[in-house]
Structure 1
Amino acid sequence: MKVLHLISGGDTGGAKTHIINLCSKLKNLVALKIICFMYGQFYEEVKDAGIDIDVIQQSSRFDLSVVDKIAKIIENENYDIIHCHGARANFIGMFLKLKIKNKPFITTVHSDFDLDFQDSFYKRVVFSFLNKLALKRFDYFVSVGSALIDKIKGLGVSEDRIFLLYNGFDFSKEISYVHKDEFLSKFFDKRIYENKIVIGNLSRLYKVKGLDVFIKAANIIVKKYSNVLFLIGGSGPQRESLNLMISEYNLNDKVFLLGSIKNPYDFFNSIDINVISSYSETFPYSILEATALEKCCISSKVGSVPDLIDDGKNGFLFDAGDYRGLAQKIEILLQNENLIKEFGHLLSKKAKEKFSAENMARMQFEIYKSILSKK
């Protein structure tokens, strides 16, 4: 079986992590290649993982000269399946499908496509429209969470063309990170974080990530507890407004924006409680990355997160946007610090049993076999 994966190559979120974790294991089951449209961090990480990847560069998002080049590769190398990831690859896939008539085209839906471009009016209007137009042309869909299946059906897709595949993490790989002091001392004096419970949120700084919820919850907690520090890792267009919000709440010595984090495990190793405050998610990789270090997690009740976190048993859930609910969950942990380690251990155990990269690759292989048998 030969499978060609298409992805933009500029991805920095869950789609990037998904395809690297998936293909690092899937390459043992099928012959695969990844084609992306730009050089960068994604390309380097895929190469480092020992996955076959080529770049066919676009001069712009709308440069369709790549379509003929990819079509020739598909025909010359006789790929059985073309598998797209993300809006740009979907757009290219739509035109490829006009040229390649006898091959199944699959797309993995990594997020709510109506919320992907919320921080730019132009992108929200143009790219969201083009992505949905492209999505309707695909033969089959892979949803990385159960919550997205109804969303995909809303495009007019029948259920027999949709497959569920949870994100998986390679728990077998060696994880490297620096000591907590080495990481945090880059940002502030040791007295700031010494003897503190550190609560972290690692995400891109976009509206959908609900970092306003995180800051509002912090504002409630710091009025009751002095031994708490809140860290936000990541970059994005919301940085200025979040800094303003922190200043308005007078939280400049309690909540810190650390900027872009090169190694997420440096961040997760330095915190005690991992928080996901998003208004919408499918199945965020930041939970799985943190569970590799047995970190306790509190998350908004979004997407398929409840399939991993059993509220009150191995972590906590709160309703999206409910900053008071988030603050209440944090307070329970601050009043019973033993739960922090206990929940971290239990969550890690469940993640390793049910959400491994090996399981994800085997399930993806079975999906491919099912699709080819229908053909």
Structure 2
Amino acid sequence: EYDGLMFGQFQYHAIPFYKNRYVKHVCQVVQTIMLGLRCHRRRKLDYIHSYDPLMLGFAAVILKILTGAKLIVEVNGHLKKDGFLDRKGLAASVKRTAFSFLASLSLKRAAVIKFLNDEQKVEWQEFLKDQKIVLYHDFVPTHVFKSGQTAEEPYIFFIGYPFYRKAVDILIAAFLEMAEEFPAVKLKIVGHCPGGDAERQKYIDMAKGHPRVEILKPVYFDEAIRLFEQCRFFVLPSRSEAMGRVLIEAMACSKAVIGSRVGGIPGLVRDGENGFLVESENVQQLAEKMKVLLSEENLCAKMGQSGKAFVEENFSSQKYVEFFLDMLRDADHG
């Protein structure tokens, strides 16, 4: 129903979604290639921009060969650090082989590779040669986020998934450590659980029935904006995080933030200025920083204002457009 929608000069195309895990990736690659060729027949493609270096990257390489367009490949996570490459067994071995083949195929044929942080460049070094490398944030529509008044019932906010990678278990444990000192404050956790109700129940059980811990299912974007605008502050205690766009969204609402010292988070959180950095999986340290922001409202507000200015200067919607156009120019000269 959304195929062909126009947004200004941008046209949106959709491909069918396949639930069967054995054929869905192959079908999506074929559909993507066919869609790209149809677009190319209507109007010559100048650039092909792949959101990841794996299955989409494979489709993008085929389209590059067939159309002659310049290829741009994004790497949007710490895929090599997420654990599946270290697993044992035949299935894991097949995945490792496929991973190396697909990543090498797409990245080595790209005119430009976009990373989110410097750690990714080191992580993917084996696939890099003379490609142009650019580093900048994912698009966040900062212009739709406004500075909001904290709700009458104050709450600490988290939104994201998967819960384990985002260290929701650490966040719950840290909140339980300090909850008695702040009897009016809630913890609101929002996100999708790929494991369904059983996985969500596991995190509910971690909260030990605490009445001020809310673990909510995903919400629409407008509701997510409201939750950002009305929270006291935002926490992202991830075990792995290439960027953390939710931190930008929170700061766009003039909210102080707490993030773990991993991946791209230190590039967003200026420790002591717009929020705090904590060591990953350190429950006590996270609890202490949350207590500081709850105890010192003026500091929390000042950090929120600093974060707002930081986002407007470095991560605004317009700034993304500037980075993106620079990337296209790099591809032209690649």
Same fold, TM-score > 0.5, yes or no: yes
Relative to 1, partners in 2 of residues 1:369 and 1:95: Cα closer, same or farther, differing over 3 Å?
same
Q: What is the distance in 2 between the residues matched to 1:253 and 1:274?
A: 20
Deviation string, structure 1 residues 233-288 (Cα, Å, up to 9, x no partner):
11113563453344355243121111111131122123111000111111111111
Q: Distance in 1 between matches of 2:328 and 2:91?
A: 32
Q: Tell me the secondary structure at the aligned position of residue 353 of structure 1.
A: helix
Matched, 1:298 2:258: yes
Q: 1:75, CA displacement in angstroms?
A: 5.3
Taking a change above 3 Å as real, the CA distance of residues 70 and 173 of structure 1, as seen in their structure-2 partners, is: same
The alignment status of 1:167 with 2:138, answered yes or no, reads: yes
- Cα contact 1:170–1:356 (8 A) shared by 2: yes
Deviation at 1:351, TM superposition (A): 0.7
Contact 2:48 2:64 (8 Å CA) reproduced: no
TM-superposed deviation, 1:297: 0.7
TM-score (norm 2): 0.82
| Residue matched to 1:364 | 324
Q: TM-score when scaled to structure 1?
A: 0.74
Match of 2:239 among 269, 275, 279: 279
Return the letter of the residue paired with 2:116: V
Relative distance call for 1:68 and 1:261 in structure 2 (3 A) is closer
Aligned to 1:109: 75
Which deviates the most, 52-61 or 327-336? 52-61
Q: In the alignment, which residue of structure 2 is the partner of 1:144?
A: 116
Structure-2 change in CA distance of 1:246 and 1:224 (3 Å) = farther
The amino acid that maps onto 1:141 is I
Q: 1:129 to 1:267 in 2, by over 3 A?
A: farther
1:247 counterpart residue number: 205
SS in 2 for 1:136: helix
- Equivalent in the alignment of 2:21: none
State the 1:371 CA deviation. Answer: 2.0
Q: SS of the residue aligned with 1:137?
A: helix
Q: Is the 8 A contact 1:85 1:107 kept in 2?
A: yes
Cα deviation code 1:320-373 (max 9, x no counterpart): 111211111111112212212111111111111111121222122122212212
Residue type of the alignment partner of 1:224: E
Taking every aligned residue pair, what percent have the same amino acid on both sides? 19
1:355 has 2:315 as partner: yes
What is the one-letter code of the residue matched to 2:138? N
Aligned-residue Cα RMSD (Å) equals 3.1
Q: Partners of 2:138 and 2:332 in 1: how far apart?
A: 22
* 8 Å Cα contact 1:91-1:130 kept in structure 2: no
The count of corresponding residues between Structure 1 and Structure 2 is 315
Q: Residue 159 of structure 2 aligns with which residue?
A: 202
> Aligned pair 1:52/2:52, yes or no?
no
Question: What is the CA-CA distance between 1:92 and the residue it aligns to?
Answer: 1.7
1:57 CA displacement: 3.4
Q: How does 1:19-30 map to 2 (within 5 A)?
A: none
Determine the C-alpha separation between the residues in 2 that align with 1:225 and 1:312.
22
The structural deviation recorded for 1:128 is 6.7
Unaligned 5+ segments in structure 1 are: 1-38, 182-193
The reply to whether residue 90 of structure 1 matches residue 57 of structure 2 is yes
**Unmatched 5+ residue regions in structure 2?**
19-23
Question: In the TM superposition, what whole-angstrom CA distance separates every residue of 1:83-124 from its partner, at most 9, and x where no partner exists?
Answer: 111344223224334434x33211111111235696xx9997
Check whether the contact 2:193–2:199 (CA below 8 A) recurs between aligned residues. Answer: no
> Which residue in 1 is equivalent to 2:66?
99
2:174 pairs with 1:217:
yes
Map 1:229-268; keep pairs closer than 5 Å. 229-237=186-194, 240-263=198-221, 264-268=224-228
The answer to whether residue 31 in structure 2 is matched with residue 71 in structure 1 is no
The amino acid that maps onto 1:81 is: Y
Structure 2 equivalent of residue 185 of structure 1: none
- How far apart in 1 are the matches of 2:169 and 2:258? 16
Secondary structure of 2:165 counterpart: helix
Question: Aligned AA for 1:83?
Answer: H
- 1:11 alignment counterpart: none
Q: 2:132 aligned with 1:135, yes or no?
A: no
After superposition, the Cα gap between the structure-2 partners of 1:53 and 1:126, relative to the gap in structure 1 and judged at 3 Å, is farther
Secondary structure of residue in 2 paired with 1:83:
strand
CA distance in 2, matches of 1:65, 1:168: 27
